[in-house]
Amino acid sequence: MQMAGSSESSGAASAQSDERPPLPPRPSQAPENDPATPMMERSQLPSKPTTAVSSMNIQTLSFPDGSRGTFSTANENPSGSTEQTSAPSSLGPASLGFNPIGNDIDESMSVMSIAPTLRPPGDLESLLVGDISKKSPAWALLRSQSAAVQPFETIRAEENTVFTEFEREFDDIPDESEENWNDEDRLKIWKSKLKHFMILSSAGKPIYSRHGDLGLINSSMGVVQTILSFYEGAKNPLLGFTAANTRFVILTEGPLYFVAISRLGESDSQLRAQLDALYMQILSTLTLPTLTNIFANRPSTDLRKPLQGTETLLSSLADSFTRGSPSALLGALECLRLRKSHRLAINNAFLRTRTEKLLYGLIVAGGRLVSVIRPRRHSLHPSDLQLIFNMLFESGGVKAGGGENWIPLCLPAFNNRGYLYMYVSFLDVDPESERDLSAAGEEIAVILISPDKESFFALQQMRDDVVAELRKKGHVDIIKAAAKQGRPKMNEIAPGTHVSHFLFKSRANVQFCMPAPLPIFNSLISHRRLMSLYHNLHATIHAKHTHVKVLHCVGEDTTSLAWITPIFEFYCVAGPNASRAVLTQGANKIIQWAKREEERLFIIGGGVF
């Protein structure tokens, strides 16, 4: 019995030695050579090299929409296979510290691309996500310094090709009388200009061209007239077309065709508004009835003779559009910043000395409106005032005369069928001496407009009276000081902000303000780049059928913001590294400043009689 018992026990022992006991789970962190680690635990490690994270099969499934998903399956290879290392079923991804990710996640996604909604667990979190999303103090300091980078400081050469020749945009094309230039070279220079304005009649007669004499481009105008006539004959007037990177916009007004050719990126509506201003300039010289009668009696009339002497007005207006005019873009006027009490005193002086023959009275300093008095039922349209300012401060014709000027002109927005008579006097100007052109931005002009052509002496007396009263109370010196001081600087408007420039328009007053330009915007090219950016913002936010009220744009060299409400329009520009929060904070500071300074920045109502 004892021997039988011993044989049974030895048989059981041999059976147990044939059947190996299950191994415990693999420890997460235990050095291989640690003597405290049992040999049985280390025997769990794979015996062959493998590229798999675990000994599980990773399957990939392609979906009909082109995306792919991954999922895991248990190892089903035979136990005798030597190609795949077997593992116990208890050793799953959860035991290794990984949470399984569903098959709806594209395997091409990086771990960072799905943070923070789906964060990788376990050790991958500390390796790939962890503290990377947290900005160190050094990073915050670098970010604050980089936000101070000014616009257009980082300009790539290939991006600046459009403006490479812009500094020579306003150079005159050599005349045909010069022997060193042939027609081919002159035509090449004409084609290099970035912007052209042409005016021709429906009969094909050339009237005006900003660049080049009409003899040089007569054939080009003929081509334009042929194209326009073709569409007119089809009862489908041509409004515009694009050739390469050049935009052609056509405006038809009665017997006249106005054509704008631009490579500066302006929208059709902006170019059409500029062409309309040129049409208003012609009407201010001829009036609409005169223009209509000329072509009604003789359609092939050469309009250059009736317009002789006004080419400088058309060219100065066209050049202001090419350089970039905030006033033309916004359709608003800029006023001289004055205290409310000072402006009210100037208006009262105007009203006390008013003559019965006066229609409008204005004081202008450096192209910015100081004071205006008007009849209760009439107001001056901004487009009419722009024509007056162009004549007085841009073309140089009236300023060259100095002293007093008596000018008949038509204000088309007020009445395009008749003439008014404008008395202009520049203060502190000696007609016999040469005028200081360096102080052109500080010139003060008194403008009195009357419908009576016999009112010269009455307006002259009114001018003497109002200037005497303004001098007596020191208001002329106040106007001079304000004009000399210029526009407010950005660090005075919103200290600490990274906004470099802005345009703010009061829609109710049809007036706008802007800061003194930074040195970076003083060059001709940088000013044009700034205005091109404003043109793009304006065109986008005012596009037809758009409902955009706030527009934030990020570029390689600038960050910009456009914001329109029923009360105001606001556009601003900052450096390329300015964040949206920084830009919005600066915009709010500027708008609050404009609200506080509204009665200094804008003329609200003016003097009314």
404: helix, coil or strand? strand
Model pLDDT, residue 224: 86
Neighbouring residues of 225: CB distance < 8 A, sequence distance ≥ 6:
200, 202, 204, 257
Q: Is the dihedral of CA 349, 353, 358, 363 positive or negative?
A: negative
Side-chain half-sphere CA neighbours of 256 within 13 A = 21
What single DSSP character describes residue 439?
G
* Strand-pair partners of 569: 505, 564
Closest by alpha carbon to 279, among 255, 253, 303, 310?
253
CB-based contact 262:246 (threshold 8 Å): yes
Model pLDDT, residue 412: 94
Model pLDDT, residue 183: 78
Model pLDDT, residue 353: 92
Q: What angle do CA 50, 51, 53 make, to 5 degrees?
A: 100
Model pLDDT, residue 359: 94
Report CA-CA distances (Å) from 133 to 113, 127, 141, 323, 382.
12, 12, 16, 45, 52
Reported as a single tens digit per residue, the pLDDT across 133-187 is 455 665 555 555 555 677 776 654 445 567 777 888 888 888 777 777 787 888 8
Model pLDDT, residue 244: 86
Model pLDDT, residue 43: 46
Q: What is the mean pLDDT of each run of 10 residues along the chain (609 residues)?
A: 46 53 64 48 49 52 56 49 42 42 42 41 41 53 59 57 80 78 84 92 88 81 86 84 91 92 93 95 93 88 88 92 94 94 93 93 92 89 92 71 82 93 82 46 87 94 94 93 92 91 95 91 90 94 87 90 95 90 93 94 89
Closest by alpha carbon to 518, among 530, 504, 508?
530
Give the separation between CA 588 and CA 496, rounded to whole angstroms: 13
> Within its chain, how far is the Cα of 67 from the centroid?
39
The two beta strands, 256-262 and 195-201, are antiparallel
